[in-house]
Structure 1
């Protein structure tokens, strides 16, 4: 028999970061600044892509969708985390906790698919330039994005329905700042074998397969770049995909840091802090990386500033 209290629980206490009173407001305003900067940065990209005709291309269309996904992800996690920082704990119902995990898992899955589509876009632009306009047309982009959104949210919803059928027992205190999969399963006194099997299948669908596609795409891209005779030509071509490659490296790097941390118990606390990388840092860094490393976006920003100043 499990040592847990077998009484079904209805609420969950998320401990957050348990900061001392001296640094509570510093941590609060730091995360609040991250949140506001992320929302403004990603919103700016969406506005720029909509505003400028020069950005009406597949790459920037996918980038705007990635920005929407980043905004959903950080909005799902950070507001509740800010409350936990101020109160040193936050209380959620079990259904609210599962709902938070649903939107988190769905948006993370969506980002994997969008990054994969963006790598395919770069592959066509660099390796198949003569066929790019024909293959990466408006209809294809629209269908791909709709499919990515639908596929992510529907498949994850099926998984969430399985989780919702579990029985949850005490103790109902979770040492985390949001409802991730491991904290939720630790509260369950039911058999979680099917849930973990489904998690593995979803990880392959949304994590492993997209990552392999991205790697293969960039292998072809790198081979094509090295076939360009001039160094200037190589640099110019590589610059068109450097921002995306940086975002992919940060996204998958942070995910691997969290889910490849071995063991539980003491390492769970380390996992909690690593989780900040892909729930807070990645959505913050995406618009910064694309804004700093992309000449087209810089031109549109300067144009908007000039129009506003006159």
Structure 2
């Protein structure tokens, strides 16, 4: 009997660990989201189920699992159920090249950043299929918004990432992290502050987070692309959104904030601290700023982020050439 390749075993273990990490973080982020919302709006948030409401996310998960799944009349059944699966499954691949620590990387690859950017684009296809396959006018409007928003905000996000890649000469996230230091003044965010700001704002647009949550604007489109979904159909979209938030914050921590390196005792804890600080900022922004109009959303990108990202990239290329 031939032996199983070691790399295949490592890959399977990494995927299982990533799936557990995504599920656990989904519960943690739901709790954080509600508690931050309660704090911002001067109310307690969940506190009945478990001590200080700690078991509320678990109760929500059980409720979603137990809900009946149904296909709306007139919907395309194949597209309708393919959409939530397509939204969630690529997320597991996005975590593979992310270096959580000096040796805590799912799969070391030279083009890891390119893999993340390529597979992250599948999410918008899932949203498009969800809206189109639902045979619902609000779903189709949400899908159209998702496509326009994703196509627009991918460009400045890519340009801001390229600026850092030009500096480090690599698309390997581990190499980018090792090129920085543990102290804040050694981070790429200090050398490339404009790229960091553009990346973070574009990440909000890419993950459909408020104030850029136009594809699912409740006050306008009921729930947008996932209006017709219940139970775990909705749950997979919900989990994929939080997983994508973790991905964009993890990439930001690696590219701009020194990754696992800290002032002392380098390790994965520094990486997770930086990621969760960025996640808290994303949650805080959601409950602080009102939703923008769709024309304002696109104007922010095409009139501000795009020109600034191009200018920053040209300046970076010029300085590196010198």
TM-score by structure 1 length?
0.38
Q: Max radius of gyration: which structure? A: 1
- The answer to which structure, 1 or 2, has the higher relative contact order (CA under 8 A, 6+ apart) is 1
